[in-house]
Structure 1
């Protein structure tokens, strides 16, 4: 079932709380994989919305595979973010609850030519490259800053 489609049929574009799960996959050089999102044309941590009956680990693994083609396994929960609001290009409003995991790859990642309806491009970025990006949301910038500094504050 597509939970977002189901709930949006009932509430339209009104603000709702949605749960998401995503993950940080680093390469052997410590660079982090980001996706260029097709909907917003911004760089982002791969992840997505939880479906009914799904735990957030399963959500993270499913969404990461859908958005990158890479099979991953979460190794630890990094943080939970609960106080960000977004408006999507179609007008949907949300307050997000995001479970962020550290990941390891279970497949040999080949991101060279990967793209689909959600992902225009995949690329590994260093901390300095990420902090210089203009097209990165405040939410993802905070998550990546906490990751690179290995300091995860509660209450976001």
Structure 2
């Protein structure tokens, strides 16, 4: 049983704090890889929930691969985001703690046909294209703005 299923078996849909890790992957033109999420139908930075005994770096690598099919290595830690609350489509309530990394691909990047339950579509987007997407969460929009500005505010 994964950690989220275990916790939810104990607390139901009550609000809990969960740790997540994600990565920002840029191509040679500076465009950022985003995923169209299967659960919320929103564009997002690839990443996901930490399992018990797993480091934030290992979570980033595992979740990035699960959601994109791309193996990555973190290059640098960007920021920690801890002041966001969400309600998932199934009613689960969370306060998220997100470790965000800049990552590089290990090997080839093939995204054209990648799709699974978590990811409906993948695409590289420029900063301008991202600002025009209406289905990016406030949390992910902030992370991307800070990335493009290369200025990360503590305490988010």
What's the TM-score bracket when you normalise by the shorter of the two chains?
A: over 0.9
For residues 44-102 of structure 1, give each alpha carbon's deviation from its aligned partner in whole angstroms, at most 9, with x where no partner exists. 00000000000000000000000000000000000000000000000000000000000
TM-score by length of 1: 0.99
Instruction: Trace 1:68-79 onto structure 2 (pairs within 5 A).
Output: 68-79=68-79
Gaps of 5+ in 2: none
Give, in angstroms, the shift of residue 132 of structure 1.
1.1
The number of residue pairs the alignment matches comes to: 156
The equivalent residue for 1:7 is 7
The equivalent residue for 2:98 is 98
Instruction: Trace 1:109-128 onto structure 2 (pairs within 5 A).
Output: 109-128=109-128
Instruction: Trace 1:22-37 onto structure 2 (pairs within 5 A).
Output: 22-37=22-37
The equivalent residue for 1:108 is 108
**1: distance between equivalents of 2:107 and 2:54?**
23
- 3-state SS of the aligned residue for 1:102? strand
TM-score by length of 2: 0.99
**2: distance between equivalents of 1:131 and 1:101?**
21
Gaps of 5+ in 1: none
- 3-state SS of the aligned residue for 2:147? helix
The equivalent residue for 1:49 is 49
Give, in angstroms, the shift of residue 107 of structure 1.
1.5
**1: distance between equivalents of 2:72 and 2:107?**
7
**2: distance between equivalents of 1:22 and 1:100?**
5
The equivalent residue for 2:61 is 61
- 3-state SS of the aligned residue for 2:62? helix
